Structure 1
Amino acid sequence: MIKHLVIIGVVALAAAGLQAQDAKAIYEKECAKCHGSDGKGDTKMGKKLGAKDYTDPKVQEKMKDEEAFKAIKEGLKEGDKTLMKPTEGLTDDQIKALVKYMRTFKK
């Protein structure tokens, strides 16, 4: 019984590690062009669209996981202007991992 619990624990930790790596790769591919690899939003496109600085604790505090999830899944508009296109092809679990990864930028 204990052996099975240890195996389950090891598999869960490995899966969590893979999710974190996956989230970082997705962020670099889908988000960094606007939000920057460091999460500061200090890119040409990020400045143009008003990307938030995810290293700012106030931004992180104001940002709710559900809102971030929805923005990633459905995109973000301001009136008729598209600020962020939906990120297609991601599972809900990948989006949740991506939101969790974004939280690591907080200073």
Structure 2
Amino acid sequence: MMKRFALMMSLCLAPAAHAADDVVEVWKAKCKSCHGDTGKADTKMGKKESITDMSQPAWQAAQSDADIRVAIADGSPRNTKMKAFKDKLTAAQIDALVGYIRTMKAK
């Protein structure tokens, strides 16, 4: 009985774990080179382009999820080098990135 329960739980949690892995892979592939691992933009390109530190509580509070979604999908109105990803990422991937960015908030 316990083994069956454990198997059922692992099957239920597997998609969530897989989705978390997917968003990390998307971040690494599409975002990390400018925004860094933690959203601080502490990369060569982040510094060159004066990219805002997304981990700052003030930035997090000033940006709605919709604002972040639009910047990812359509590019940044503040920095024209921020590419639009609406043709490269699915709506689900963009939504996952919004959630991932929210986890970067500095404490």
Is TM more than 0.5 here?
Answer: yes
Unaligned runs of 5+ in 1: 1-6
1:73 and 1:12 mapped to 2: Cα distance?
Answer: 30
Partner AA of 1:99 in structure 2? V
1:52 and 1:11 mapped to 2: Cα distance?
Answer: 39
Identity rate, percent = 40
Q: In the TM superposition, what is the alpha-carbon distance from 1:83 to its structure 2 partner?
A: 3.2
Q: In the TM superposition, what is the alpha-carbon distance from 1:77 to its structure 2 partner?
A: 3.0
Match of residue 80 from structure 2: 82
Match of residue 71 from structure 1: 71
Give the TM-score, by structure 1 length.
0.79
Going from structure 1 to structure 2, the CA distance change for 1:86 and 1:18 (only over 3 Å counts) comes to same
1:73 and 1:101 mapped to 2: Cα distance?
Answer: 15
More strand by percentage? 1
Contact kept? 1:19, 1:94, Cα under 8 Å: no
Contact kept? 2:69, 2:95, Cα under 8 Å: yes
**Residues 94-103 or 53-62, more deviating:** 53-62
Q: In the TM superposition, what is the alpha-carbon distance from 1:102 to its structure 2 partner?
A: 1.0
Structure 1 residue runs of 4 or more that deviate by more than 6 Å after TM superposition: none
Cα displacement string for residues 19-42 of structure 1 (whole angstroms, at most 9, x for unaligned residues): 111111100111011101121111
* Aligned counterparts, 1:24-35, within 5 A: 24-35=24-35
**Residues 49-58 or 64-73, more deviating:** 49-58
Q: In the TM superposition, what is the alpha-carbon distance from 1:60 to its structure 2 partner?
A: 1.0
Match of residue 59 from structure 1: 59
RMSD: 2.1
1:41 and 1:31 mapped to 2: Cα distance?
Answer: 10
Unaligned runs of 5+ in 2: 1-7
